[in-house]
Amino acid sequence: MRLRLTKSNNAAFLLRASFALYIGAAAASVPVCWGGAETARPPAAQNAANAQDIAERLSRAYPGIVQGVDSGGVIFADGTRLPLHDGKGDKTFAAWLSDPDIADMFAIAYPPGQVSTPPPVNFDPGRARNAAFFKKVYGDCAAGGVTPALVDVIWLPKKARQVLKVTSVNGVAKRLAAISAELDELSADFDGFLWPAAGAYNCRDIAGTKTPSAHGYGIAIDIAVQHASYWRWSGAKDEAAPAYRNEVPMEIVRVFENHGFIWGGKWNHFDTMHFEYRPELLTPGDGLQAGADAAGSASSGTPAK
């Protein structure tokens, strides 16, 4: 598919080179091909350029759950498959967001680490989630499929001792516990950004949509709201984001990213208190830590239901 990031056909699109915008076009057949030669390709984005790369990312990010990708789609450890492409062709931004196929989740490369400019219009890496894929991996919360795998994580055991519920599937709880331990060591200057956390597991749709929230899979956490910025809070309607705002320090963001969590502060539709476990969008080269928790993830929880 080809994702059009512009708000309308006439909207001027501002490309800021330092923010690694990428527009990809995946062919209906495997291997996936990317859009025409006229499309500028920042280096980071080229990493998500083909089915083999998607296969490697998914297999690495979901060990013991995803076995690979072939012409029949994504192969799960239980032998079932989900299509990589839905064959729906070009998608508007709204369609990409509301009805992404698995390949669409990689259409915009997530930029790890420090970024120097606000995200361009509709630059929302990781915001599109193929619901079938996440329900397969983590379960369907509306059907009671997520709660059996939920475990308690003590958020900031020294400072806050707040109990949060996240899934144990795919090592998510262990990852969040490691993040919590690292953030607990930051100076008190960071406290107001971190706790009280605004929540983790919550079976709901994203505000203003019928799209399942990452919180419903038990893979997301919202940190403290005092310094948070959320695009909808500005009275924005439809999908037009207001001017970018953020107060959350990069020291916090880096800790999350190193454990496979992406940050909603890197979205044009910013949600700066939101982090979610999306290790397929980060790579060891980005600082992603493998760790014992990743190695043990296949045996924790109940993957690939």
Which positions lie near Zn ion, rule CB under 5 A?
Answer: 220, 222, 274
Distance CA(109)–CA(40), nearest Å, equals 13
Nearer to Zn ion, 96 or 275 (CB): 275
- Token pair listed for 299: 């045996």
Contact call for residues 111 and 132 (beta carbons, < 8 A):
no
CB atoms within 10 A of CB 35: 16
Instruction: Please report how close the Cβ of residue 204 comes to Zn ion at its closest, in angstroms.
Output: 10
Instruction: Please report how close the Cβ of residue 86 comes to Zn ion at its closest, in angstroms.
Output: 26
Nearer to Zn ion, 23 or 220 (CB): 220
Nearer to Zn ion, 137 or 228 (CB): 228
Nearer to Zn ion, 140 or 271 (CB): 271
Nearer to Zn ion, 27 or 225 (CB): 225
- Token pair listed for 24: 């990809």
Instruction: Please report how close the Cβ of residue 221 comes to Zn ion at its closest, in angstroms.
Output: 7
Distance CA(32)–CA(23), nearest Å, equals 14
- Token pair listed for 182: 């690292």
Transcribe 92-132 into DSSP letters. Answer: -HHHHHHS--TGGGGSS----S--SSPPPTT--TT----HH
Transcribe 163-209 into DSSP letters. Answer: EEEEE-GGGHHHHHHHHHHHHTTS-GGGHHHHSS--BS----BPTTS
Nearer to Zn ion, 48 or 273 (CB): 273
Instruction: Please report how close the Cβ of residue 241 comes to Zn ion at its closest, in angstroms.
Output: 16
Count H helices, E strands: the chain? 8, 8
End-to-end CA, the chain: 28
Distance CA(155)–CA(158), nearest Å, equals 9
Nearer to Zn ion, 222 or 293 (CB): 222
Distance CA(212)–CA(205), nearest Å, equals 4
Instruction: Please report how close the Cβ of residue 249 comes to Zn ion at its closest, in angstroms.
Output: 18
Nearer to Zn ion, 76 or 195 (CB): 195
Distance of CA 295 to the CA centre of its chain: 21
Instruction: Please report how close the Cβ of residue 214 comes to Zn ion at its closest, in angstroms.
Output: 7
- Token pair listed for 295: 């190695």
Instruction: Please report how close the Cβ of residue 58 comes to Zn ion at its closest, in angstroms.
Output: 23
Instruction: Please report how close the Cβ of residue 7 comes to Zn ion at its closest, in angstroms.
Output: 24
Transcribe 18-87 into DSSP letters. Answer: GG-----B--SSSSP----TTS---HHHHTT-SHHHHHHHHHHHSTTTEEEEETTEEEETTS-EE-S--S
